[in-house]
Amino acid sequence: MLTGGGDCPGLNAVIRAVVRKGEGTYGHHIVGFRHGWRGVVEDETVDLTIAATRGILRIGGTILGSSRTNPFKREGDLAAALRTLEQERIDALVAIGGEDTLGVAHQLAAEGVRCIGVPKTIDNDLSCTDVTFGFNTAVQIASDALDRLHTTAESHDRVLVVEVMGRHAGWIALHAGLAGGADVILVPEVAFDIGEVCEQLRHRHSHGAASSIVVAAEGAQPREGTMATLEADLDEFGHVRLGGIANRIAPEIESRTGFEVRTVVLGHLLRGGTPTAFDRILATRFGLAAVDAAHDGDGDVMVALQGTDIVRVPLADAVGVLKTVPRERLAEAEVLFG
């Protein structure tokens, strides 16, 4: 088993469930790889037993560590990974991660490795599952923050621009914005026009509001030609390292409207700490289902939540297309602005 990509609350709950059922019910020997795919490439393992995983249900992060290593990136890494899996006599590999980690799992399946994916990401952007674990906790943290930010914004008649994670999908921004009563929500799916954002704020403030909250996903982009775009570094999977949209929007709003503006970047705060009860339960159910799939001899599948059922879906379908926020969900939120 391994945990890859950005960490997220609930990873340890999955690990615990896999070990409990794997060892306790099926009598399997469970091995953990340290730091995602890096541990497979470098053969860094840890024995995962019921005794070694006691008490981790409510602890954030991952006891295995994580990384964004891509074993298909550097020459020799794939061969090293396959060697490790053979040497460690791995029958099935439970990979807990988002699109990148599970994309690698799907590619490894083509190399004959029996991979079971578990959908993790606070961004909630994996297809075929209603929700990924970690998302609920991130939304809860963000909406708690918005509650606090409302009172200080109101005291000072300010506009607060709050940046949340969400690289390609605006699920956190949308749900936190809905739960926390945001007045503007900016998501990566729809390029924004800063002029229109300012107009929305002016309209509110001329109809009785003295303060506003703008929630911006880190991946929100200005409509072409309306504001300068920034160059950013790429990680091993070719994704840009984001962060900073709030600090770019804030001075624009201040200079165009004359309102006093402050920014808050919630960033990694959304990934830290203890998972909500919802995420603990979902992560636990995913872990139990993943070990069942491994025991059944299944492979190249991901466990997923569909309705109230945990089902297995082909990994190819889960990682093929990102699950982004549809326009109609944004339209629901827009009714509440103003």
Supply 197's token pair.
């954002």
Q: Which of residues 146-185 bind ligand F6P (CB under 6 A)?
A: 165-167
Assess 271 for contact with ligand F6P (CB under 6 A). Answer: yes
5 close to 68: Cβ distance less than 8 angstroms: yes
How far apart are CB 116 and ligand F6P at their closest, in Å?
20
Q: Which of residues 226-245 bind ligand F6P (CB under 6 A)?
A: 241-242
CB atoms near residue 227 (< 10 Å): 18
| Choice among 123, 125, 279, 292 that is catalytic | 123
Which residue is closest to ligand F6P by CB? 6
Check the CA dihedral 151-144-243-199 and report its sign. Answer: negative
How far apart are CB 122 and ligand F6P at their closest, in Å?
5
Q: Which of residues 209-228 bind ligand F6P (CB under 6 A)?
A: 218
147 close to 264: Cβ distance less than 8 angstroms: no
149 close to 164: Cβ distance less than 8 angstroms: no
Q: Which of residues 20-59 bind ligand F6P (CB under 6 A)?
A: none
Q: Residue holding tokens 């029996």? A: 114
> How many binding residues for ligand F6P (CB under 6 A)?
13
Instruction: Measure the CA–CA gap between 205 and 140, rounded to whole angstroms.
Output: 28
Instruction: Choose between 85 and 165: whose C-beta lies nearer to ligand F6P.
Output: 165
Instruction: Measure the CA–CA gap between 72 and 259, rounded to whole angstroms.
Output: 50
Instruction: Measure the CA–CA gap between 134 and 282, rounded to whole angstroms.
Output: 9
How far apart are CB 8 and ligand F6P at their closest, in Å?
7
Instruction: Choose between 121 and 136: whose C-beta lies nearer to ligand F6P.
Output: 121
147 catalytic per annotation: no
User: Which residues are known to be catalytic?
Assistant: 123
Q: In the complex, which residues of this chain contact ligand F6P (CB under 6 A)?
A: 5-6, 98, 121-123, 165-167, 218, 241-242, 271
